[in-house]
Structure 1
Amino acid sequence: MTVDTDDSLIWLISDCFRNTLRRLIRIEPVLDHITFLEREQKERIITKARNECNQSAVDLLIDTIVSKARQPGWSREFVQALSSAGCSYAAQIVETETLASPSLEAENDCCVHLITLLGPSLLDMKTTDVCDACFQGNLITDEDRQNILAETANKGPIGGARLLLSRIVLQPPGWFSRFLDALRNTEHFDLLEELTGVRRGLDDDASPQKSGSSDVSAGEQEGKTEEEEEEDEEDARPEEQRDSPDPVSPEGYGGPEAPLTLWPYQLRVAEPALRGQNIIVCLPTGSGKTRIAVYAAKQHLDRRRLQGAPGKVMVIVNKVLLVEQHFTKEFGKFLKDEYRLEQTSGFSPNKQAFANTVAGHDVIICTAQILHNALLDSEDGISLSDITLLIVDECHHTHKGEVYQKIMIHYLTDKLLNIKRRKAGNDIKPLPQILGLTASLGVGGASKREKAQEHILRICANLDVSEIMTAPLGDHSKDRCKQIIMAKRRTQDPFGDVIRRVMTSIQEHAQLSPSVGLGTQCYEQWVVDKEKEAAREGDQRKRVCAEHLRQYNEALVQSNSIRMSDAYSLLRSFYRGELRKKQDVTQTDTEKFLFRQFNDNHRKLDDFSKEPEYENNVLSELRAAILRRFSAGAEGEVRGIIFTETRLSAKALHSWIQENRKFEDVEVRSSYLIGAGDQSAVKPMTASEQKDVLRKFNTGEINLLIATTVAEEGLDIERCNVVIRYCLVTSEIAMIQARGRGRADGSSYIVIGVEGSGVAERERVNERREEMMKKAILGVQQMDKATYLKKVMEYQMEAMMEKKLRERKSVERGRKKVLPSAVKFRCRGCPVLVCGGEDIEVIENAHHVNLTKDFESKFKVNTNPSRRDRTAPCEAEKSISCRNCGHFWGPVMCHRQLDCPCLNIRGFVVLQGATEETLDSWTDLGVLFPEFDFFSHAEQFVLGAEEEDA
Structure 2
Amino acid sequence: MGVVDLEYISHPLIKENKIESRLYQKIIAAKILKNNKNTMIVAPTALGKTVIAILVAAERLHKYKNSRVLILAPSKPLALQHHQKFKEFMIVPTSCLTGDIPPKKRVELWENSRVICATPQTIESDLIRGNYSLKDVSLVVFDECHRAVGSYSYVYLASKYLEDAENPLIIGLTASPGSDKEKINEVCKNLSIDDVIIKTEKDKDVSPYFNPIETKWVKVKLDDELIRIKKLMEKSLKRRLKLLKRMDIIKNENVTKKDLLDARKELKKMLTIDSSRKLYTAISLLVASINIEHALELLETQTINALYKYLERLKKKQTKASRSLVKDIYFRKAISLVERRFMRNQEHPKLNELIKILKKEIANKNKVIVFTQFRDSVEQIHKKCQENNISSVKFYGQRGRDGEKGLSQKEQKEIIKKFKAGVYDVLISTSVAEEGIDIPAVDTVILYEPVPSEIRMIQRRGRTGRKRKGKMIVLISEGTRDEAYYWSSIRKENKMKKQLKRPIHVKFRKERKHKNKKEVVIYADSREYNSGVLRELTKLNAKIKIRSLAVADYQVSDEVGIERKTVDDFINSIIDKRLYKQAERLTEEFTRPVLILEGKNLYSRFMNPNAIRGALASIALDFNIPIIPSQSPEDTAAIIYRIAVREQLHEKREIPIRTERKPLTLREKQLYVIESLPHIGAVNAKKLLRKFGSVKNVINASEKELMKVEGIGEKIAKDIKEVTDSKFEE
Query: TM-score surpassing 0.5?
Result: yes
CA contact (8 A) 1:484 1:760 kept: no
CA gap 1:391/1:661 in 2 versus in 1, 3 angstroms: closer
5+ unaligned residues in a row in structure 2: which ranges?
515-531, 541-553, 555-561, 584-603, 613-629, 641-656, 673-730
Partner of residue 847, structure 1? none
Equivalent residues in 2 for 1:46-85, closer than 5 Å: none
SS in 2 for 1:792: coil
Q: Quick one: which of 568, 576, 579 aligns to 1:835?
A: 576
- Residue 173 of structure 2 aligns with which residue? 437
TM-aligned CA distance change 1:705 to 1:923, over 3 Å: farther
From the superposition, tell whether residues 544 and 589 of structure 1 become closer, same or farther in structure 2 (CA, over 3 Å). closer
2:473 partner SS: strand
Residues 253 and 260 of structure 1 are in contact (CA less than 8 Å); yes or no, is this contact kept in structure 2? no
2:29 alignment partner, one of 246, 249, 270 = 270
Contact persistence 2:46–2:210 (CA under 8 A): no
Q: How does 1:41-440 map to 2 (within 5 A)?
A: 243-251=3-11, 255=15, 259-273=18-32, 277-278=36-37, 279-304=39-64, 309-328=65-84, 330-335=85-90, 338-346=91-99, 348-351=100-103, 354-375=106-127, 377=128, 380-413=130-163, 430-440=166-176
Give the secondary-structure state (helix, strand or coil) at the position aligned to 2:171: strand
- Displacement of 1:473 in angstroms is 1.5
Are the aligned partners of 1:535 and 1:543 in contact in 2 as well (CA < 8 Å)? no
Q: What is the match of residue 898 of structure 1?
A: none
2-structure distance, mates of 1:759, 1:711 = 20
| Conserved? CA contact 1:506–1:549, under 8 Å | yes
Instruction: Encode CA deviations 1:722-743: one digit per residue, 9 max, x unaligned.
Output: 1233333333333322222112
CA distance in 2, matches of 1:925, 1:281: 33
SS at match of 1:385: coil
How many percent of aligned residue pairs carry the same amino acid?
Answer: 18
Q: Which amino acid aligns with 1:300?
A: R
* Equivalent residue, structure 1, for 2:366: 638
TM-superposed deviation, 1:703: 2.8
Deviation per CA, 1:575-631, whole angstroms, max 9, x where unpaired?
Answer: 44x47xxxxxxxx99987777779977655422334566x54444443444344334
1:480 CA drift (Å): 1.5
Partner of 2:705: none
Deviations 1:425-465 (A, max 9, x none): xxxx613332332333444x24xxxx89xx46962783444
Query: What is the identity, as a one-letter code, of the residue corresponding to 2:579?
Result: E
Shift of 1:534: 5.2
Contact 1:650 1:672 in 2 (8 A): no
Judged with a 3 Å threshold, the aligned counterparts in structure 2 of structure 1 residues 747 and 644 are, in CA distance, closer, same or farther, namely same
Letter in 1 for 2:154: Y
Q: How does 1:731-746 map to 2 (within 5 A)?
A: 731-743=453-465, 744-746=467-469
Structure 1 residue 482 and structure 2 residue 215: aligned?
A: yes
Q: Distance in 1 between the 2:421 and 2:663 partners?
A: 51
The question of 1:563 aligning with 2:303 is answered yes
Change (3 A) 1:556 1:938: farther
The one of 216, 220, 225 aligned to 1:492: 225
Q: Would you say the 8 A contact 2:536–2:633 is kept in 1? A: no
Tell me how far apart the structure 2 counterparts of residues 436 and 507 of structure 1 sit (CA, whole Å). Answer: 45
Please tell me whether the aligned partners of residues 445 and 463 of structure 2 are also in contact (alpha carbons under 8 angstroms).
Answer: yes
Match of residue 516 from structure 1:
253
The AA in structure 1 aligned to 2:498 is M
Q: C-alpha deviations, 1:866-911, integer Å up to 9, x for none?
A: xxxxxxxxxxxxxxxxxxxxxxxxxxxxxxxxxxxxxxxxxx9642
Q: Quick one: distance in 2 between partners of 1:689 and 1:937?
A: 47
Code of the residue aligned with 1:341 in structure 2: it is T
Change (3 A) 1:490 1:351: farther
1:823–1:837 Cα contact (<8 Å) kept: no
Cα deviation, 1:61-82, whole Å, max 9, x if unaligned, reads xxxxxxxxxxxxxxxxxxxxxx
> 2:46 aligns to what SS in structure 1?
coil
Superposed, 1:598-617 pairs within 5 Å as: 605-611=338-344, 616-617=348-349
Q: 1:807 to 1:368 in 2, by over 3 A?
A: closer
The count of residues paired between Structure 1 and Structure 2 equals 554
Which stretches in structure 1 are left out of the alignment for 5+ residues?
Answer: 1-240, 415-428, 580-587, 781-787, 827-832, 843-907, 917-921, 945-950
Q: Which residue of 407, 428, 448 maps to 1:706?
A: 428
Q: CA RMSD in A?
A: 5.1
Secondary structure at 2:472's aligned position in 1?
strand
Residue 792 in 1 paired to residue 507 in 2?
yes
Please say if 1:658 is aligned against 2:383: yes
Find the partner of 2:492 among 758, 762, 766.
766
Q: Secondary structure at the match of 2:300?
A: coil
2:609 paired residue number: 913
Distance 1:910 1:359, change over 3 A: farther
What amino acid is the match of 1:334?
Answer: F
1:755 aligns with 2:481: no
Residue in 2 that maps onto 1:206: none
The answer to whether residue 571 in structure 2 is matched with residue 824 in structure 1 is: yes
Cα contact 2:272–2:606 (8 A) shared by 1: no
Deviation at 1:568, TM superposition (A): 1.9
Contact 1:725 1:752 (8 Å CA) reproduced = yes
**Residue 427 of structure 2 aligns to a residue in which SS?**
strand
CA distance in 1, matches of 2:190, 2:633: 34
8 A contact 1:528–1:550 mirrored in 2: no
Q: 1:639 to 1:594 in 2, by over 3 A?
A: same
Label 1:594 to 1:768 Cα distance change in 2 as closer, same or farther (>3 A): closer
| Code of the aligned partner of 1:630 | I
Residue in structure 1 matching 2:188, options 437, 459, 465: 459
What TM-score, normalized by structure 1, do the two folds share?
Answer: 0.49
- 1:629 aligns to 2:361 (yes or no): yes
**In the alignment, is the contact (CA less than 8 A) between 2:450 and 2:486 conserved in 1?**
no
CA positional deviation for 1:541: 6.3
Residue 365 of structure 1 deviates from its aligned partner by 0.8
1:838-917 alignment runs, 5 A limit = 838=579, 910-911=606-607, 913=609
Check 1:926–1:293 CA distance in 2 against 1; reply closer, same or farther (3 A cut): closer
Deviations 1:915-945 (A, max 9, x none): 99xxxxx99899999x9998459989xx99x
Q: Give 3-state SS (helix, strand or coil) of 1:286's partner.
A: helix
1:435–1:656 distance in 2 versus 1, CA, 3 Å: closer
Taking a change above 3 Å as real, the CA distance of residues 823 and 520 of structure 1, as seen in their structure-2 partners, is closer
Give the Cα–Cα distance (whole angstroms) in 2 for the partners of residues 937 and 654 of structure 1. 55
